[in-house]
Structure 1
Amino acid sequence: MTRKAKATIAVLSTLIAYVSVNSIIHVLRPAAFVWSAEDREERDWIASSRSWFDRKSCRWLSICGAAHLQTVHGEFGHREPVERVNAHDAEPEAPWRSFWISGASESEWDADERARRQIPDYVFHYAPLVHLYSGEQFWPGDIAEHLHHTTPTLNYTPIQAQWDHPTLRDLDELNKNIPQTDGNNKGESWADWDGRVDGDIPGDTEEDRAKWYDFHQLQQEAAAVHESNTDEHFQAQQILKEELRRRYGGEEIYDNGAGGRSNAPAILVVMDKGNGIVDAFWFYFYSFNLGNTVVNVRFGNHVGDWEHCLVRFHNGKPKALFFSAHQGGEAYSYEAVEKIGQRPVIYSAEGSHAMYATAGVQEYLLPWGLLHDVTDRGPLWDPLLNTKAYTYDFDNKHLRASTFSPSAPTEWFHYRGHWGDKFYPLGDSRQYRFAGQYHFVNGPLGPKFKHLNRHKVCQGPDRSPCVIKNYVEQGKRPRRWGSSRQGE
């Protein structure tokens, strides 16, 4: 028998064994193949393909939509990236602008209600800055504008007319169409002035960290919170301006040459968790998430993308930050991350918008850098220039527009559905799946479902450990938890 024949027999034997084992496991343990929310609809998803060969190949070999596969070449989509424009030159009569001033009237609040809506000054003093990727194609988006171009659907079927778009004021009314659930959703050198401290941090003892690391373990006595005063705020702004002058040669952050300014509003949700602990969640929305590539094939695209950074304060002082990245993220002590003045700096990855503490290549999930994000010191975005700020009472599920943006609507926050398309059927020419990874996945759930009442800084389950690093590592994979691949 020739060597070529032996090799052929070996390949066929391996293929037969793989198909046999795969089919037996499918029959005996179908749940073993449910790795994500998309996988729960396996049978109907496969049946959507008109090709018998495609259905069988997907069922037995886990090769789905091979005829649809396209390797990456050039920019994603069919249009050149739109040139950035200054917010002052944008269309003034855009209908979605009025969505943001449809909330309750400030005149209806008494003194106690105003106090519940007040956000401490220090939350703004330490607001993160974001370096967008220099070649980013999908920039921060306005959720009001996103809804203006959205037609709500349920299982691929429109439930409203194409011209009847939801708004921030009535988005939660779509909840009546959503089935009830159990609710468990749960290489660049550093500048010498970046404000980081690597290694041991003065005063960061186990005794001090125990006061804010896990608020659930603390006693219920309220700790005194030291409010920042006007002089501190003025000093913080002066330090920021000086650092920006050093970094950008004197240009203001909102100028075209320096700022990469986006007029899309960021969402700030502040929760007072008692014992002097205040969590400030900064949410950033993008209308599209461009998935990353493995051997020049792209996986993980989805419409709608929510990312967030949490800054945890104890007695008015920033202690730790969490940067979301895919299904995981990293937590750092405040001293460890780069800062401009006293404001932390985040690096947003190209396409995926995952958040990192450094510029460079960021590996995750797969070894040898097969799957990675890329960040750099691209345009600097200051979300504080256009923020809609809220306070949130988790126990009563009550979101309040803050005194910072009193007319901001709140209904959109309680929407339980996805902020993007349902993952496309196998019969759709845009869809394919290999090794359990889909080209298009479900859009994400909104900020309300990002474990806001977390005990620790990390987004993972409260029972899981949360490592808060006192140093920044480049090239390390973000921690991963859960089984869902919904975008953030």
Structure 2
Amino acid sequence: MAGTSPTHVRASMSGLLVCFFGILLGYSARAGPEPGPDARCPEYVARHAPLLWLHSDDPFKPSDLLTHVRHTTPAVDRKPISDLPSLDLDNLEILNDYGNKDHVALVSNDDPTTYPKWLYGEAPDGTGRIHNSTPCVVVLVERNERELDAFYFYFYSFNEGPNITQVLEPLDRLVKGPKAASGMHFGDHIGDWEHNMVRFRDGKPTGIYFSQHVDGAAYDWDDSKISKIDERPIVYSARGSHANYASPGLQVHNAALVDYCDEGQKWDPVLSAYFYRFHADSFTVTRIEPPEQSFPKLASDANLTSLFYYTGRWGDLQWLDSDPRQETVPRFGLKRFESGPTGPRHKHLVRKGLKPDHRRKMGWTEWAVGIYMAWYPCCLKSWRKWVLFGGFVVMLSAIVVGIVIGVRRYRRRKYQRLQAEDIPLDDWVLEEDSLLSSSDEDDEIGKAGKAGKAGKAGKNKLK
């Protein structure tokens, strides 16, 4: 050091300073500026986010979105789309250029009946965090300056439908066939989107919606049916179907089917989620930072909005009847394997109430089943059906007798009216006079009348 010249020292110090500032600038470039309030998810959205209890026996856990995409092949009309780049959550929307609306389907690269490993997703740890997957999408919809709807979407790579044990009596006796008797599930599909929606007013929750198959349930935030832990609502995810309920136990849906819910594994979805702000005027989204809690930071070059813009299906189309793997439930037409769902953009993000504004149309078969099952416990079960049948016969007989009596009275009244119209008015007067006078008076009046006529005739002759 004693032999080092001052010029050399200054050059070395300058080099160190350049390196230091270079590292600092590089870090700043990666970190980026601190996001503003519109670029970050509000803290209250996470503070009141749902906590899910996955069913203890459900093998199909929440699934990573990108992993799901990479294990599927896009197809239109069941034919793979060729010459595509490698797909991810940043370019998935390019599939919208093929086919129309939801005609594009992400077809599993593996036979689902072999249950490949990726269908099972990832289980959360003891704290409820999923470490290596991102199965949740949070979409914020501003209704006005004071109200905000927060949609919490949960993704699973596989939906397992019900089997014969989940069909209520007496309809379970109608589900026949060796495959049904063996416990085969019906209504399976690749890809499964479920969600909750919490409505906020001035940052405070006012209500919550639970998606359940083709329908859902809505509650006020203070409803006694909603359980909470630290102001976070508890949601029970049904075994296989992943429908969301406010309580554990048996849950009846579609009038005749049963879901099973229990306190299996706790999952905190917002700890492994993508966050977006929805713009209703343009139907677009902007990715935003997670709340300022124990959330992972975003990479500066990540956008990942393409998963929202993709309009196709997140699984296979319903298998054809000619496919040897496909089965059909007699009488009801339920299929073993159905089409996968569409994504969050199709879940009625803009709505007036907690439930979607436009309710689905119910088919006549489902309507008839609903009526029958509503009457079954009170009126159609065991001996009750005979009482109901007897009452129905009595009521039907009374209606028939009433109709017969009414028709007879109407015909009699019509007959009398026609008689009155056929009799001249003079005849009515004469008939009335004759009824008021005696027979003797009639004779005298007759004689007087004849005498008067004879006198008039004589006078005429004298003239």
Check whether TM > 0.5: yes
160, 181, 195: which one aligns with 1:308: 195
Does the CA-based 8 Å contact 1:169-1:411 persist in structure 2? yes
Mapped pair 1:175 → 2:87: no
Mapped pair 1:299 → 2:186: yes
Residue 164 of structure 1 deviates from its aligned partner by: 5.5
Q: Quick one: which amino acid aligns to residue 346 of structure 2?
A: F
CA-based RMSD: 2.9
Partner SS, residue 299 of structure 1: coil
Residue 110 of structure 1 deviates from its aligned partner by: 10
Structure 2 CA distance for partners of 1:138 and 1:462, relative to 1, 3 Å: closer
1:375-406 deviation line (CA, Å, top 9, x unaligned) = 00001001122121110102112210112265
Distance across 1 between alignment mates of 2:155 and 2:67: 11
Residue 272 of structure 1 deviates from its aligned partner by: 1.1
Residue 280 of structure 1 deviates from its aligned partner by: 0.3
Larger radius of gyration: 2
240, 245, 270: which one aligns with 1:351: 240
Does the CA-based 8 Å contact 1:255-1:261 persist in structure 2? yes
Considering Cα pairs closer than 8 Å and 6+ residues apart, tell me whether 1 or 2 has the greater RCO: 1
Distance across 1 between alignment mates of 2:255 and 2:245: 17
Distance across 1 between alignment mates of 2:129 and 2:41: 27
The answer for unaligned runs of 5 or more in structure 1 is 1-104, 183-253, 465-475, 478-488
Partner SS, residue 421 of structure 1: coil
Distance across 1 between alignment mates of 2:303 and 2:268: 20
1:330 match: 217
Does the CA-based 8 Å contact 1:280-1:311 persist in structure 2? yes
2:49 match: 127
Map 1:363-402 → 2, pairs under 5 A: 363-367=252-256, 371-402=257-288
Partner SS, residue 430 of structure 1: coil
Partner SS, residue 412 of structure 1: helix
Structure 2 CA distance for partners of 1:398 and 1:115, relative to 1, 3 Å: farther
Q: Quick one: which amino acid aligns to residue 292 of structure 1?
A: P
Structure 2 CA distance for partners of 1:255 and 1:312, relative to 1, 3 Å: closer
Partner SS, residue 163 of structure 2: strand
Partner SS, residue 345 of structure 2: helix
Structure 2 CA distance for partners of 1:148 and 1:170, relative to 1, 3 Å: same
Mapped pair 1:340 → 2:242: no
Structure 2 CA distance for partners of 1:110 and 1:342, relative to 1, 3 Å: closer
The answer for unaligned runs of 5 or more in structure 2 is 1-29, 104-122, 165-171, 173-182, 291-296, 362-372, 375-463
Structure 2 CA distance for partners of 1:181 and 1:413, relative to 1, 3 Å: closer
Mapped pair 1:264 → 2:264: no
TM-score scaled to structure 1, two decimals?
A: 0.54
Distance across 2 between alignment mates of 1:154 and 1:373: 33
Residue 180 of structure 1 deviates from its aligned partner by: 4.5
Distance across 2 between alignment mates of 1:298 and 1:175: 32
75, 95, 98: which one aligns with 1:153: 75
Does the CA-based 8 Å contact 2:252-2:258 persist in structure 1? yes
Does the CA-based 8 Å contact 2:102-2:313 persist in structure 1? no
Distance across 2 between alignment mates of 1:363 and 1:256: 30
Partner SS, residue 452 of structure 1: coil
Q: Quick one: which amino acid aligns to residue 340 of structure 1?
A: I
Distance across 1 between alignment mates of 2:195 and 2:125: 25
Structure 2 CA distance for partners of 1:308 and 1:385, relative to 1, 3 Å: same
Map 1:36-55 → 2, pairs under 5 A: none
2:143 match: 273
TM-score scaled to structure 2, two decimals?
A: 0.57
1:16 match: none
Residue 160 of structure 1 deviates from its aligned partner by: 3.1
Structure 2 CA distance for partners of 1:258 and 1:106, relative to 1, 3 Å: closer
After TM superposition, the structure 1 stretch with the greater mean CA deviation from structure 2, 294-303 or 167-176, is 294-303
Mapped pair 1:441 → 2:338: yes
